[in-house]
Structure 1
């Protein structure tokens, strides 16, 4: 009667664990990056409200000072390094978030995410928000940003 495992059985177990780790680790890193992008989306929500209110009252994009920020780095999070306001082409106003360059997933380091207020010409007086990024891979962006 045999007690214990043979060498080949142990090698097979190690090979199976290695294959599972090779699949699981990249998937986990993608999951972490998506969670870090969600922090940016949550951080932007307070500025989206302020921008909507300012635009509805004055038909203009607010400045950082009007949002209560002394500089772009005055508003930051664990993964977001700065928040800025811009008026990109085709948009009324946008919240531009820049991720930190360290302590964050490699695919997001120093990258930018813009959440823009877009006018709806078919529905006068209404507008909607659209997010986009030119340097963040689509797989890290929330479903509301993918394909835009």
Structure 2
């Protein structure tokens, strides 16, 4: 499991670095040399999609989603646990739908043979971020739910 965590974080970190460098170089190139690199904006857009969906899974692992802080802080320990279980179940249901419809979108795009305009990437590779992020989220939510059921609390700080 620690390899999955490392891969998620390195992948998102690398994409953030590449997006920042690409954006910086493109801005400098456009402002100083009046030249715009083809595909930079498209690469940034597609990278942001992956950052969002893989980042969603990282947030579920670290407990940074759907916190309803006012309600959580006012509840007693047992009720907090039940509320967190309810939130996890609802999130799991949503992620299952996201996987199903994400796979449908990937298959449609794969069968249509669409490619992106500038980078000429097969569009199913871009849409693949949806089911991959949702599957990783299901994994992390399930682990947190099992921990919650066994230990009655989750330590999101343990790595």
Q: TM-score, normalised by structure 2?
A: 0.27
Considering only CA atoms, is the larger Rg found in Structure 1 or Structure 2?
1
- Whichever structure has more helix as a proportion of its residues is 2
Relative contact order, higher structure (CA 8 A, sep 6+):
2
Q: TM-score, normalised by structure 1?
A: 0.29
